Amino acid sequence: MASSDGILLKGAPFEDPAAVSSRNASAYRPLHTFELPKGSEKHYAHQFADMYFVRLAQLKEAVKQKAHEAWDAFELAGDKAKYVERVLDVRQGELCWVVGTVYMEMAMKPNVLDDISKEHWIAAPPSRDTYVSPSGTDDMMLEDESGRLRVAGNSLNSHYVTGCILAALGTEQADGSFQVIATQYADLPRQPQRWEAEDASLTVAKEPTPKREKAGKLAIVSGLDMTGKDEDDVTLDLLVEYLSGEAGGPDQASASSITRLVIAGNSLSNASPILSREEFDVRKGAKRNYGYDSSSYNATPAEKFDAFLAEILPALPVSVLPGEQDPANVALPQQPLHPALFPLSRAYQYPPALANETLEGLDLVTNPWEADVEGWRILGTAGQTLDDLLKYVDGVWPLDAMEMMLRWRCIAPTAPDTLWCYPFQDDDPLILKECPHIYFAGNREKFQAKFVKGPAGQQVLIVGVPKFSKTGQIVLVDMETLEVETVKLGYVKPGP
Amino acid sequence: MAEARYREYLVDRVLAEGQPITYRLLSRALQVHVNIAKQMLYDFHAEQTKKQPKSVHATYLLTGKERSSEHSNGDIAHNGDDTAMRSSPFMSSLPEPENTPESPVPTTSVVLVREEELEKTKSGFEEITSIHIYSLEPGPIENLNLLAVCNQEIARSHASGDPLERWRDYGSIQNPYIKRRTTKYAPAMAKPTTKATVKATAAVSAPNEGSKQGPAVAARKESTPEESKSGRSTPQPGPTASLKRSDSKTMTKKDASVGNLFKSFAKAKPKAKEAEKPIEEDAMQGMSEDEGDADDEPAVKFDEEKAAAARKAREEREQKLQEMMEADGTSVLDMPDAPTEETDSQDAPIDKETPNQPAESEATVTVQGGRRRGKRRVMKKKKVKDEDGYLVTKEEAVWESFSEDEPEPKKAKPTPKPTVAKGKKNGGKGQGSIASFFKKA
A46-78 residue pLDDT tens: 888 888 889 999 999 999 998 988 888 887 777
Domain limits of chain B? 2-73+106-170, 195-326, 332-414
Q: A491 vs B112: CB contact, 8 Å cut-off?
A: yes
Buried b (16+ CB within 10 A) or exposed e, B311-323: eeebeeeeeeeee
Residue of B nearest to A390 (CA): B86
Q: If pLDDT is split at 50, 70 and 90, which confidence band does B410 have?
A: low
Nearest CA of chain B to the CA of A242: how many Å?
8
**Confidence check: pLDDT of B238 > 70:** no
Q: B 50-79 residues with CB below 8 A of A?
A: 61, 63-64, 66, 75-79
Name the most confidently modeled range: A315-319, B15-19, B205-209, B419-423: A315-319
pLDDT attached to residue B254: 42
Dist. CA A390–CA A325, nearest whole Å: 19
Our measurement of the distance from residue B136's CA atom to the centroid of its chain's CA atoms, rounded to an integer in Å, reads: 27
Q: How many CB pairs lie under 8 A apart between chains A and B? A: 293
What is the rounded end-to-end Cα distance, in angstroms, of chain B?
A: 95
Q: B 213-252 residues with CB below 8 A of A?
A: 232-237
Q: B79 vs A469: CB contact, 8 Å cut-off?
A: yes
Q: B42 vs A10: CB contact, 8 Å cut-off?
A: yes
Dist. CA A184–CA A190, nearest whole Å: 17
- Tell me the chain B residues in contact with residue A12 when contact means C-beta distances shorter than 8 Å: 3, 39, 43
Torsions phi, psi for B239 (to 5 deg): -55, -30
Q: If pLDDT is split at 50, 70 and 90, which confidence band does A319 have?
A: very high
Torsions phi, psi for A379 (to 5 deg): -125, 130
Q: B108 vs A486: CB contact, 8 Å cut-off?
A: yes
Q: B39 vs A306: CB contact, 8 Å cut-off?
A: no
Any idea how long chain A is? 496
Tell me if B401 sits within 8 A of B374, measured CB to CB. Answer: yes
Torsions phi, psi for A320 (to 5 deg): -115, 115
| A372 vs B173, residue with greater confidence | A372
For every residue of A399-410, DSSP letters joined together read HHHHHHHHHHTB
pLDDT attached to residue A141: 85
Q: A2 vs B131: CB contact, 8 Å cut-off?
A: yes
Residue of B nearest to A5 (CA): B130
Taking alpha carbons only, the member of A495, A487, A401 closest to residue A444 is A401
pLDDT attached to residue A302: 86
Q: A8 vs B130: CB contact, 8 Å cut-off?
A: yes
Give the single-character DSSP code of A92.
B
Dist. CA B70–CA B87, nearest whole Å: 21
Dist. CA B70–CA B92, nearest whole Å: 18
B2-73+106-170 belongs to which homologous superfamily? Answer: DNA polymerase delta, p66 (Cdc27) subunit, wHTH domain (3.90.1030.20)
What rounded mean pLDDT belongs to chain B? 61
What's the predicted TM-score (pTM) here? 0.67
A489 touches chain B (CB under 8 A): yes
Dist. CA A91–CA A167, nearest whole Å: 16
Q: If pLDDT is split at 50, 70 and 90, which confidence band does B291 have?
A: very low
pLDDT attached to residue A5: 53
**Closest partner residue to A234 among B27, B142, B148, by Cβ?**
B148
pLDDT digits (tens, 9 = 90+) for A431-489: 999 999 999 999 999 899 999 998 888 899 999 999 998 889 999 999 988 999 999 98
Nearest CA of chain B to the CA of A280: how many Å?
22
A2 touches chain B (CB under 8 A): yes
Residue of A nearest to B234 (CA): A300
Helix, strand, or coil here: B76? Answer: strand
- DSSP E strands: which ranges in B81-208? 107-114, 125-137
- Tell me the chain A residues in contact with residue B26 when contact means C-beta distances shorter than 8 Å: none
Q: B144 vs A1: CB contact, 8 Å cut-off?
A: no
Q: A 196-255 residues with CB below 8 A of B?
A: 225, 228-238, 240-242, 244-252, 255
**Closest partner residue to A249 among B129, B173, B177, by Cβ?**
B129
**Closest partner residue to A490 among B76, B85, B181, by Cβ?**
B76
pLDDT attached to residue A71: 86
Buried b (16+ CB within 10 A) or exposed e, A143-181: bbeeeebbbebeeeeebbbbbbbbbbbbbbeeeebbbbb
How many Cβ atoms from other residues are within 10 Å of residue B144's Cβ?
23
pLDDT digits (tens, 9 = 90+) for B337-396: 444 444 444 444 444 444 444 444 445 666 665 566 777 777 777 777 777 777 777 777
Buried b (16+ CB within 10 A) or exposed e, A457-484: ebebbbbbbbbbbbbbbbbbbbbeebeb
Dist. CA B35–CA B220, nearest whole Å: 46
Q: Which residues pair with B381 in a beta bridge?
A: B395
Dist. CA A96–CA A75, nearest whole Å: 10
Taking alpha carbons only, the member of A480, A245, A142, A377 closest to residue B63 is A245
Peptide bond into B95 cis (omega under 30): no
Which structural domains are found in chain A, ordered by start? 17-43+203-280+297-488 (3.60.21.50), 49-184 (2.40.50.430)
Residue of B nearest to A461 (CA): B101
- Tell me the chain A residues in contact with residue B43 when contact means C-beta distances shorter than 8 Å: 10-12
B354 touches chain A (CB under 8 A): no
Residue of B nearest to A487 (CA): B108
Dist. CA A373–CA A356, nearest whole Å: 17
> Taking each helix axis from N to C terminus, what angle separates B239-250 and B195-211, rounded to the nearest 10 degrees?
90
Taking alpha carbons only, the member of B42, B34, B41 closest to residue B169 is B34
Tell me if A263 sits within 8 A of A22, measured CB to CB. Answer: no
pLDDT attached to residue B27: 86
Say yes or no: ipTM exceeds 0.85: no
pLDDT digits (tens, 9 = 90+) for B242-284: 444 444 444 444 444 444 444 444 444 444 444 444 444 444 4
Dist. CA B184–CA B172, nearest whole Å: 28
Torsions phi, psi for B213 (to 5 deg): -80, -40
**Confidence check: pLDDT of B406 > 70:** no
Best A28, A234, A404 member to test B by mutation, with max B CBs in 10 Å, is A234
Our measurement of the distance from residue B179's CA atom to the centroid of its chain's CA atoms, rounded to an integer in Å, reads: 33
Taking alpha carbons only, the member of B1, B19, B8 closest to residue B246 is B19
Residue of B nearest to A132 (CA): B87
Residues 6+ apart with CB under 8 A from B233: A300, B191, B195
pLDDT digits (tens, 9 = 90+) for A154-203: 666 657 888 889 898 888 888 888 888 888 888 889 998 888 888 888 88
Helix, strand, or coil here: A383? Answer: coil
Torsions phi, psi for A470 (to 5 deg): -95, -40
Helix, strand, or coil here: B28? Answer: helix
Tell me if A328 sits within 8 A of A34, measured CB to CB. Answer: no
**Closest partner residue to B130 among A7, A12, A399, by Cβ?**
A7
What is the number of alpha carbons within 13 Å of residue A120 lying toward its C-beta? 1
Dist. CA A438–CA A373, nearest whole Å: 10
Instruction: Report the alpha-carbon angle A60-A62-A66, nearest 5.
Output: 115
- Tell me the chain B residues in contact with residue A247 when contact means C-beta distances shorter than 8 Å: 61, 63, 110, 134
Taking alpha carbons only, the member of A358, A353, A328, A326 closest to residue A442 is A326
